[in-house]
Amino acid sequence: MACYLIASVQISDAVRFGAYAKAVAGLSERFGGESVVKGPVAQVLEGTGLPGERIVVTRFASTKEAKAYIDSPQYQAARKLREGAGVVVMRLVEA
């Protein structure tokens, strides 16, 4: 079953977050990921959004592939680079 990793991102330190972004560039594709959308929230239609919030959506063919990406040593090492550089909430949605 296909699934989507949906990340809500609020960056507070662009330099440190940039190091993370560089480290994960192309990594999800090695695990079967396909970038669906990356960008700033254009408009909050309901509820409350975070100032400067960005959304990243990546499609995977299966939950197994998505988890392999998130659990990979490469991703875990990159994740440490973004500590203190912003707030990230990541969700897995099966579709």
The confidence score (pLDDT) of residue 50 equals 83
- Domain boundaries, position 38: 3-94
Q: Look at the block and give the residue holding tokens 């990594």.
A: 27
Number of domains, the chain: 1
Average pLDDT, the chain: 96
Q: What is the pTM of this model?
A: 0.92
Residues 6+ apart with CB under 8 A from 15: 85
| Residue 67 to residue 42: CA distance in whole angstroms | 29
Please state the rounded mean pLDDT for residues 55-63. Answer: 98
Residue pLDDT, tens place only, 18-43: 999 999 999 999 999 999 999 999 99
The confidence score (pLDDT) of residue 39 equals 96
Helix, strand, coil percentages for the chain (3-state, nearest 5): 35, 35, 30
- Which CATH number does the domain housing residue 54 bear? 3.30.70.100
Q: Look at the block and give the residue holding tokens 């970038």.
A: 35
The confidence score (pLDDT) of residue 61 equals 98
Q: Which of 85, 27, 13, 83 is closest to 58 using CA atoms?
A: 27
pLDDT bucket at 49, cuts 50 / 70 / 90 = confident
